[in-house]
């Protein structure tokens, strides 16, 4: 079914190279052990959802890079891909102008929606940490029981 999109998680802090922004998707896929020939084939035939995580962590380098374009969609050559894009970014890092120019771009061309996630409450944080510790303790106990 051609309507199925493949999600691909991309950690921007790990993949971003200001000298080669246009190839960020190809570089990320190569880091996932997909070679260039396969990338060229899938680029034309498969639909993706790229989850670009951590834009706030590369924002300073991105912003300092002397590039005529500010809009990330153009700078990352995302028009080469049949894809939808999800970008995660801490809201306090970019001001409203940056968000509009860099993440949203021209309102005439692309439909963009923004979703804000509320931070965990203290209780939720403690519950999450407790679950994490319990899960890892069980895994450690399983690994220690080698007799």
- Determine which of 68-72, 80-84, 87-91, 118-122 has the lowest per-residue pLDDT on average: 68-72
* Residues facing residue 9 across a β-bridge: 51
Look at the alpha carbons of 62, 117, 73, 68 in this order and tell me if their dihedral is positive or negative.
Answer: negative
Give the position of tokens 């999600």: 7
Task: Please state whether 66 falls in left (phi above 0), alpha (psi between -120 and 50) or beta.
Answer: beta
Structure confidence at residue 96 (pLDDT): 77
pLDDT mean over 87-96: 82
Answer yes or no: are the C-beta atoms of 3 and 43 closer than 8 Å: no
> What confidence tier does 107 reach under pLDDT thresholds 50, 70, 90?
low
> What confidence tier does 146 reach under pLDDT thresholds 50, 70, 90?
low
On the 0-12 / 13-18 / 19+ scale of CB atoms within 10 A, 52 is: buried
Look at the alpha carbons of 109, 93, 128, 132 in this order and tell me if their dihedral is positive or negative.
Answer: positive
- Distance (Å, rounded) from C-alpha 80 to C-alpha 88? 21
> What confidence tier does 121 reach under pLDDT thresholds 50, 70, 90?
very high
pLDDT mean over 104-108: 65
Structure confidence at residue 128 (pLDDT): 92
Answer yes or no: are the C-beta atoms of 53 and 88 closer than 8 Å: yes
**In the structure encoding, which two tokens stand for residue 28, read together?**
């990320």
Please report, for the chain, the start and end positions of each structural domain, with discontinuous segments joined by +: 5-116, 119-147
- Determine which of 2-11, 76-85, 100-109, 111-120 has the lowest per-residue pLDDT on average: 100-109
Answer yes or no: are the C-beta atoms of 51 and 9 closer than 8 Å: yes
**In the structure encoding, which two tokens stand for residue 41, read together?**
């084939």
Structure confidence at residue 129 (pLDDT): 93
Averaged pLDDT of the chain: 83
């Amino acid at each position: 079914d051609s309507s199925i999109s493949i999600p691909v998680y991309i950690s921007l802090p790990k993949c971003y190279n200001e000298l080669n922004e246009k190839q960020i998707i190809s570089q990320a896929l190569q880091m996932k052990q997909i070679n260039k020939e396969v990338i060229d084939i899938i680029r034309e035939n498969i639909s993706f959802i790229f989850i670009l995580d951590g834009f706030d962590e590369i924002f300073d380098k991105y912003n300092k890079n002397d590039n005529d374009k500010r809009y990330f969609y153009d700078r990352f050559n995302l028009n080469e891909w049949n894809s939808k894009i999800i970008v995660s970014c801490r809201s306090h890092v970019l001001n409203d102008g940056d968000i509009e120019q860099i993440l949203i771009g021209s309102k005439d061309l692309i439909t963009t929606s923004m979703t804000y996630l509320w931070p965990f409450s203290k209780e939720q944080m403690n519950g999450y940490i407790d679950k994490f510790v319990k899960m890892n303790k069980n895994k450690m106990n399983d690994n220690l029981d080698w007799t």
